[in-house]
Amino acid sequence: MSRIGKKPVSLPSGVSATLSGQTVEVKGPKGTRSFTATDDVTIAVEDNAVTVTPRGSSKRARQQWGMSRSMVANLVTGVTAGFKKELEIQGVGYRAQVQGTNLKLNLGYSHEVDFAVPQGVTVTTPKPTEIIVEGIDQQLVGQVAANIREWRGPEPYKGKGIRYKDEYIFRKEGKKK
């Protein structure tokens, strides 16, 4: 039995969910998101809540039960509060700034890195060493943050590079004489 799947997803005020076939569409103050579930689960919208139940007791149905409920909960969270990833830049001369729809990164290369920000995501730089990625799609926000981090991942000797705000980098000791 899925412990996550059993709980219904409550819809806060200002959020509405509509069901057409296996597709749930959630509208809220930040936008509209939709999710299409597999045929292994049944989705119902009633009493300001969305419930997900499995069809049958096969292993795949039980797997899709919890996953589908989590996806619907992420839709509701996305259209109400949104998702956010914070990145820090560490290193001498490393900095970032937003120019239009591009993120310009100085990361110690011989050239500036121009990162094109995709639609549905907003990138801000409150400080030159801080990047904030926000949006209503959790997967897209995480992927954009990972793509930015990929340009110069944190290295274990000096700790230079782009890291997530709460990320711990295991530091190594350098060469000894």
Confidence (pLDDT) at 4: 87
Confidence (pLDDT) at 135: 94
Is the pTM higher than 0.85? Answer: yes
> What class does CATH assign to 3-80?
alpha beta
Instruction: Give CA–CA dist 155/111, Å, rounded.
Output: 20
Query: DSSP per residue over 75-116, as a string?
Result: HHHHHHT-EEEEEEEESTT-EEEEETTEEEEE-SSSS-EEEE
Candidate CATH numbers 3.90.930.12, 3.30.450.20, 3.30.2350.10, 3.30.479.30; the one for domain 83-164: 3.90.930.12
Confidence (pLDDT) at 176: 86
- Convert the pLDDT of each residue in 35-88 to its tens digit: 999 999 999 998 899 999 999 889 999 899 999 999 999 999 999 999 999 999
Instruction: Give CA–CA dist 96/107, Å, rounded.
Output: 9
% of the chain surpassing 70 pLDDT? 99
- In our burial notation (b when 16+ CB lie closer than 10 A, e otherwise), range 73-87 reads bbbbbbbbebbebeb
Token output for 83: 């998702």
Q: State the span(s) of the chain assigned CATH 3.90.930.12.
A: 3-80, 83-164
Confidence (pLDDT) at 3: 84
| pLDDT of residue 2 exceeding 80 | no
| pLDDT of residue 1 exceeding 80 | no
Confidence (pLDDT) at 47: 86
Confidence (pLDDT) at 5: 86
The predicted model gives 113-126 an average pLDDT of: 94
- Convert the pLDDT of each residue in 130-176 to its tens digit: 999 999 999 999 999 999 999 999 999 998 999 999 999 999 998 88
